Amino acid sequence: MKSIFRVFYSGLSISLLGSMVIGTISVSAMQISITEGVRPAIHFSLGSIVAEIIYVRLLLVALSWIRKQDHIFKILEWVSVLIVVVLAVGSFKAALGHHNAQNPLLSQTMHRFILGFTMRTISPAAIPFWLGWSSVLYAKDILQNKKGFFNGYLAGIGIGTFIAHCIFIFGGKLAVEKLDAGQDVINFVIGCVFAATAAIQIWKIATRKDGVKKLQENESVASPDQTSSAK
pLDDT digits (tens, 9 = 90+) for 82-119: 777 777 777 677 667 655 545 555 656 788 999 999 88
> 23-63 pLDDT, tens per residue?
788 888 988 888 888 999 999 999 999 999 998 988 887 76
Long-range contacts of 54-58 (CB under 8 A, 24+ apart): 55/120, 55/126, 55/127, 55/130, 56/126, 56/130, 56/134, 56/153, 56/154, 56/157, 57/150, 57/154
CA–CA distance, 113 with 81 (Å, rounded to integer): 21
According to the model, what pLDDT value does residue 200 have? 76
According to the model, what pLDDT value does residue 34 have? 84
According to the model, what pLDDT value does residue 176 have? 73
How many domains does the chain divide into? 1
CA–CA distance, 148 with 7 (Å, rounded to integer): 10
In this structure, are residues 140 and 153 in contact, taking their beta carbons and an 8 Å threshold? no
CA–CA distance, 186 with 190 (Å, rounded to integer): 6
Report residue 224's pLDDT band, with 50, 70 and 90 as the boundaries: very low
According to the model, what pLDDT value does residue 67 have? 54
Phi/psi at 125 (nearest 5 deg)?
-60, -35
Torsion, CA 216, CA 219, CA 220, CA 222, rounded to 10:
140
Residue percentage of the chain with pLDDT more than 70: 69
Domain region containing 8: 2-228
